[in-house]
Structure 1
């Protein structure tokens, strides 16, 4: 393992734990999700995902400093978003909206190694994937597939490009299906229970 990967992996683990603790206070909580939750399995999940996410950056992008900076910053927002969605079932606009213009500029510039010459496909993925998932969920009401998930997927499409965005989204949805099936069979949740999709989409990304 490269030294930088090790350093970033440790930093990612720390970030994940801090993000989990931060999510117990921000954004504003309600009666259903009171502030001040003690460390639990979500703390561990955020720490592990943070370590893996930041640790693989140098292995994927090597010496591309701009890519390391852009995707590193994005992964930070994803880790914090993972923490808030697990804690409050919420992906705040402060984490998803700023990603979109930066991702678009990065893609248009031709400097994004994951998009390259596939700008049209990246934009198509940023528009179509969220639409295909969100529109059918409207009849089921709030909580089925949230606007936070939509904004998240716009950024995913622009940063990962068409093929990777589609593959990552499918992976996230399949993972969500497997986890939900297990939770239903073990009666940890009911058929009307709300389970956030954001964490699965973040893992897919």
Structure 2
């Protein structure tokens, strides 16, 4: 008499889990290979930075006193925005960044660094825009940013104004966006979610 091998319930469940994992892994690899979700405006797109070095440990003077060290946020995303009081687009974008900073997203820090040479003009400008949650720093002398970045060992090249750089959880710049952008949009949220998951370029 031929014996029939009947699979146990545990074997069936284990087989289903294994099959599901094998199907999910190629999909996850495909998503990683495809890169981050698109984010941009009519004029500008989020631009990837490949092979970027880690952000340097520089003490950036803060409006509230003390200093901002961008390396202190390792393990979190950091959106670093460079702006100036003379920049019309910055006036539109900064309140949006302030709302993003107040959104309660724990895996994201938002820092806005003024490139104004006259520090005295920054405080009344910030008060006029009612920016309350945004960390404001100063970099008039080019401590971390330069128009010609070749002269400075920095990942922050000022290709335009405003310009925002996204630092990933590993402490490296993942990409940048020139011009004002809707950082409160669903597309921006998807971009943050992608890099919060540890994705790198």
When normalised by structure 2's length, the TM-score is: 0.23
Higher helix share: 1
Higher strand fraction (1 or 2): 2
Instruction: Report which of the two structures shows the higher radius of gyration computed on alpha carbons.
Output: 2
Q: Which protein, 1 or 2, shows the higher relative CO under an 8 Å CA cutoff with sep ≥ 6?
A: 2
